[in-house]
Amino acid sequence: MQGCHISPMRIAINGFGRIGRTILRQILALAQHDDVQIALINDIAPAETLAYLFQYDSTFGPLPHDVTVSGGNLSVCGRNIALFHETDLTALDLSGVDVLLECTGIARTSDVAERGLGAGARSVLISGPSPAAEVTVVLGANIHVLGAARIVSNASCTTNAMAPLLRELNAVAAIETAHMTTIHCYTNSQPMVDAPRGDMARSRAGALSMVPTTTSAMTLIEQILPDLAGRISGAALRVPTASVSAVDLVAQMRDDQDEATFTAALKARVAANPVLGWTDRPLVSADLRARPESLIVAGPEIRMTGRRQLRVFGWYDNEWGFSARMLDVAARMADREAL
């Protein structure tokens, strides 16, 4: 799917934070998004702050274009995008919008999620797990469940990394049980200095320690791949890096495996999955920044213990890759409207 042209669609972005800004960066940077129209951006932060944070990004570097605000518009690369600061989406006119990209992180109830529909958008795609969603979709794993759903969750970045891998791994050699550890860069849910955050470990300074914690991915995996329900466990380790995360999966297979045969078969399955990648080079996390795949499997890190225990390791840019999936799934949703 990477590099493929995306059909014309009209979107709106609600919440111009890490994911909202990364989505717009991809629209501006990649030719396959030339036909994506941006009806508006809505965020409660001051316009000048939004423009500044979009132009100067500590993770992806400065945008090689001027970003200005004038007359209620965010102007960049010849695009003038209407900028609003409404706390209630129903105050906006979203008529003609194929997909509202809900990127605030607060669409936890159907009332909040449905405000986009109430404002006129044909459908809403939520940038994270949400009980308000009619379905949770992970491209490369369960896109077939999309159907006619109007409120859709794009799951989490880790779920987007894990689910396609588990699907292909289970197809190559049936999984008996597995445990996943996501080695995840720090995020805004952690403080920069020690401060109360409910979870005691997550109350510690995120850039100073490795922090063991939980991940929502495991609950979502059971929804997305019900055949594996009860057989996959997982945990997270937040680490003091600013971008790019990893999945370390140890699986017990049902039948004996040959490591070379297994690796070749998995590599072929990964090549056929539109959101997965593979590397045979000895890469480190910085090498994977701004990669669009949901997960890049590290071939040299595959290990076998005995004949049935396998270890598979992969990298994912938890912001860039996830934002790429937001645009991909939005395109699928918009295509329904054109029928």
Position with higher pLDDT, 5 vs 27:
27
Q: Is the CB of residue 203 less than 8 Å from the CB of residue 20? A: no
Residue 4 pLDDT > 70, yes or no?
A: no
Give domain limits for the chain.
9-155+322-338, 157-318
Q: Which CATH superfamily is domain 157-318 in?
A: Dihydrodipicolinate Reductase; domain 2 (3.30.360.10)
Q: Angle CA(113)–CA(109)–CA(15) in degrees, nearest 5?
A: 45
Strands (E) in 67-132, as ranges, are 68-70, 73-76, 79-84, 99-102, 124-126
- Tell me which fold the domain 9-155+322-338 belongs to: Rossmann fold (3.40.50)
Two structure tokens written together for 7: 């059909």
pLDDT at position 3:
45
What average pLDDT does the chain have?
94
| pLDDT range class, residue 6, cuts 50, 70, 90 | low
pLDDT at position 338:
59
- The answer for 81, left when phi > 0, alpha when psi is -120 to 50, beta otherwise, is beta
Single pTM value for the model:
0.95
For 258-267, the pLDDT digits (tens) are 999 999 999 9
Do domains 9-155+322-338 and 157-318 share one topology? The answer is no
Give me the active site residues, please.
Answer: 157
